[in-house]
Structure 1
Amino acid sequence: MARVAGVSQATVSLVMGDKWRGRVSERTAEAVRTAARELGYRPNLAARNLRLGLTRTALLVVPALTNEFFARVHTGAARVAAEHGMGVVLYPSPEGTGPARDPFASSRATLDGVIASSMAAEALTDIRAGGLPLVMLDSDPARPEAAGTVNLDIADGTRQVARHLLALGHRRIAHLAADVDSWTFRVRARALTEALTSAGAAVVRSEPAALTVAAGLSAAERALTGPGPRPTALVCDDDVLAAGACKAARRLGLRVPDDVSVTGFDDLAMATAVDPELTTVRLPAESVGEAGMRALIKVLDGEDPAPVTLPVDLIVRDSTTAAPR
């Protein structure tokens, strides 16, 4: 291949190993790739991995696949992994959202690295002890054990929700807070309180709820029937909770959004399946998985990946309107 391309063997190695940028020109790299196509070259990944001591396998740890968001994260991660000749072992927590048990008796023998959501972080105790490279998703960027982090701009998404409701005249707002001890939900609660109080509005109450429709319904009923003025808007940490909130409003004889506005978070498929369709924050889940896998590949290649923060967008639909007089 070096003879056909008119370059050195070292240059071929750089290009075929995808380490040529900044070391050889684009023209030279294309000459090597052309020679590879003409000669029908295919890299021997098994030999390369044996030489490097790699299995080319990454573990993706998520709380549960019953949540559409994490299924989409896996889709993104698997897509990038396939482009780099890697496989992905997916491990959802058997208990659902929350801690997951370590799936391998000896992680070091079977894996090259781990990508994990902060919501399943307790599963990582044994893995961290094994010294495997770790990339954290949706987690505190200051975590010392993570070789890389990929986050969504959750605080900005929450502020977008607050600004939207404030512009509609809402000043009495209740928060249906996910009853999960996770960095992402702590960020949402803090950002909402700060955004509303700085504008002179009030979080009339915060009701904790498990991430189910039934729990969202119960929490919304408590928020809407508790002491003091009734909130004119319910801010929910998740679309599942928001669906429960809409059911609660109907059971209480209230109209969404005329009597009470409801917002979600995630933009899951159910956001457009409920009536009215939910105003919610769209999270680019597949991009999270893609960025997490790219960060892990950089770590395996000896690089130090920069922290990644992905933007999010408020999607305004029919579950919010001007505050009732």
Structure 2
Amino acid sequence: MSVVGDYYGETVMYGPTMRDDDMDRHFYWHKIQVRVISVLWAIFTVCWAIMNIVVFVQPFWIGDSSTTPMSGYFGLFQYCLGGATPALTCRGRFDDFSSIPSDAFRAAAFFVFFSILMVMITIILMFPYFCLVYIDDRRDVSKPPSRAHIIIMIVCGVLLLISALCMFLACVIYPAGWDNSLVAGLCANGAEKYQQGECTIRWAYILAIIGIFDAAILAALAFFLADRQEKLAFASHGLINGGPAGYGMGDRAASISGRSIGSKRSFQPAPLAPEPTEAYNYHAEPMPLDRRTYQSKRRGSGAGSQISSSGAFYL
């Protein structure tokens, strides 16, 4: 692929900037990487949804230990306590807030439920996202790239960020309910807000804390994928329509996310400098072909000097 340009008033032909097959291979390798990361992102998002549901329904946020006066454990809305017999009696339902023993437990249950809702909406949006990616890969090359799947990915990132925030609030608010009389009866002396007394933190609470970081990483990855796909979309349009990625892409594609499409992360190589096509007149002293000398000779040209059509000087 060659690029035609103007060199000091003359039309010159630049050398090939990059072999077409190398450029295509470089572009499609980046495209495959983005697609693979998108699939992994979708799989881990589904895993986060499963973790969220398990944390919500399992009553193992805080429980008994070897030093507690009786056995039992508490979740977000359900709790199970033992009595004179080894059997545990479980109470509490999410659809009946009056059965939840503490206001802090109610608030934490609501935030975890809202976190699940955000993740489920994200999973639903995955279906149109991958359909639009499939359609965009097979679109007419003469048409500009579509941004619909990029917008969906940004929305998914926002939803996952809200999900992480809701889980964080639930984990922070939940210990405020440890001063409840039922919790104090299980955890014995020292049970108060943010003090579990003789009880121990159970696995569901730990899983919820891990899920905060999981959701935050998935949200950041969604924003990263949206940014990379936008660059690939416009680079693809520039590649197909007449040159290396970034050529003929207009002002919109010239700067994406504050960086030029021709930066070190793009696919456009720097054009090679042209070489003069004709030699100097060896009967005269050679003169450098820089811009100032060229312009000064043109301004000072008279009857005793002339410039050939090829750009060489003859005195």
TM over 0.5: no
TM-score, length of structure 2 as denominator length: 0.25
**More strand by percentage:** 1
Q: In proportion to residue count, which structure has more helix?
A: 2
TM-score in terms of structure 1 length = 0.25
